[in-house]
């Protein structure tokens, strides 16, 4: 009942938050210099041609009128039509979305598989050589840009060793096995920064728990070190872990823009780059709206997980 109440409370704030996100995204795009009609028709198009394009796209309307028209369409499920291709934006986004979702999921898996054990290992003997090595590696992992790491992974594992595919994605519907192989290197490039941050957070939480009175009591009762670490201390460190996982999802969605461009993947990130270069603003607006929805859903899941992990949270 308390969880249902929390979900209802969060959902009440979803609509105004999404509305604010659409307003900010729409208004910021209006500040970008350049004329969309010129971008579509070419620099040497006649004034009559440019005026016709502005009329067809509604660009001759006031900004507020265009915004209200777009939001009204979104409410009814119509995200608009691409200025460039003439396709419905919803179709374009849905066609690219699976690649980004798979990339984000795999990158999050990489971050958890590397970050959680590393943080636990570093916390067991604070100040030891292993702790210093892992902490230094985590700091370096945060500092290394994912586009540079992606290029290095391509150079070593795709070009030199030939173990994995290089740039260029494969459609999952055509060849699922090779599509997954093509996502291995991008997932590592995207997930390494997250693994470093998770390692630092888990280390801090585990050090605090391993030094607590209840852990000393468990040791006095004769519980094994493995049981104390994995069944008790890690469970009590799950709240900060849930927080950092929620934050990482937002970062991974944003980082996908760069990684997809480096690896030539046809996802939402590369779609944003293409739409920006072509001034296809209605596509950018749809992607920003989608990103806001993903972040809001992630925050909702994190809030629910808080209440499941610790019933004392109201």
Neighbours of 272 (CB within 10 A): 22
Per-residue confidence (pLDDT) for residue 53, from 0 to 100: 77
Side-chain-side CA neighbours of 157 within 13 Å: the count stands at 19
Identify the H or E element spanning 133. helix 129-143
**Average pLDDT over every residue of 117-130:** 87
Whether 298 contacts 249, CB under 8 Å: yes
Per-residue confidence (pLDDT) for residue 152, from 0 to 100: 92
Residues 6+ apart with CB under 8 A from 87: 81
The answer to whether residue 64 scores a pLDDT higher than 90 is no
State pLDDT tens for residues 96-119: 888 888 899 999 999 999 999 999
Per-residue confidence (pLDDT) for residue 1, from 0 to 100: 58
Per-residue confidence (pLDDT) for residue 290, from 0 to 100: 87
84 or 196, which is more confident: 196
Average pLDDT, rounded, for the chain:
83
Per-residue confidence (pLDDT) for residue 109, from 0 to 100: 93
CA 37 to CA 57: how far, in whole Å?
9
**Average pLDDT over every residue of 31-57:** 75
pTM of the predicted model as reported, rounded to 2 decimal places? 0.83
Whether 57 contacts 280, CB under 8 Å: no
The answer to whether residue 94 scores a pLDDT higher than 70 is yes
């Amino acid at each position: 009942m308390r969880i249902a109440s929390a979900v209802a409370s969060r959902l009440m704030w979803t609509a105004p938050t999404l509305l604010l996100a659409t307003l900010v995204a729409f208004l910021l795009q209006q500040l970008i210099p350049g004329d969309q009609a010129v971008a579509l028709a070419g620099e040497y198009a006649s004034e009559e041609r440019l005026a016709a394009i502005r009329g067809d796209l509604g660009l001759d309307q006031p900004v507020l009128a265009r915004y209200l028209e777009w939001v009204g369409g979104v409410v009814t499920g119509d995200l608009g039509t691409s200025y460039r291709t003439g396709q419905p934006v919803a179709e374009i986004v849905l066609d690219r979305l699976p690649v980004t979702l798979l990339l984000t999921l795999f990158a999050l898996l990489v971050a958890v598989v590397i970050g959680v054990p590393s943080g636990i290992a570093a916390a067991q003997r604070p100040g030891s050589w292993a702790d210093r090595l892992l902490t230094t590696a985590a700091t370096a992992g945060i500092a290394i840009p994912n586009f540079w790491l992606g290029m290095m992974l391509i150079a070593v594992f795709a070009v030199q060793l030939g173990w994995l595919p290089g740039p260029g994605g494969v459609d999952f519907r055509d060849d699922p096995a090779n599509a997954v192989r093509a996502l291995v290197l991008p997932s590592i490039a995207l997930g390494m920064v997250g693994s470093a941050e998770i390692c630092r957070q888990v280390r801090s939480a585990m050090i605090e728990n391993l030094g607590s009175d209840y852990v000393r009591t468990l040791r006095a009762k004769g519980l094994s070190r493995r049981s104390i670490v994995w069944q008790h201390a890690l469970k009590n460190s799950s709240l900060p872990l849930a927080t950092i996982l929620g934050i990482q999802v937002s970062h991974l969605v944003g980082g996908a823009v760069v990684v997809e461009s480096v690896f030539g993947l046809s996802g939402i990130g590369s779609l944003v780059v293409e739409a920006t270069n072509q001034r296809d603003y209605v596509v950018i607006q749809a992607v920003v709206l989608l990103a806001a929805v993903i972040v809001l859903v992630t925050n909702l899941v994190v809030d629910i997980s808080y209440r499941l992990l610790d019933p004392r949270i109201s």
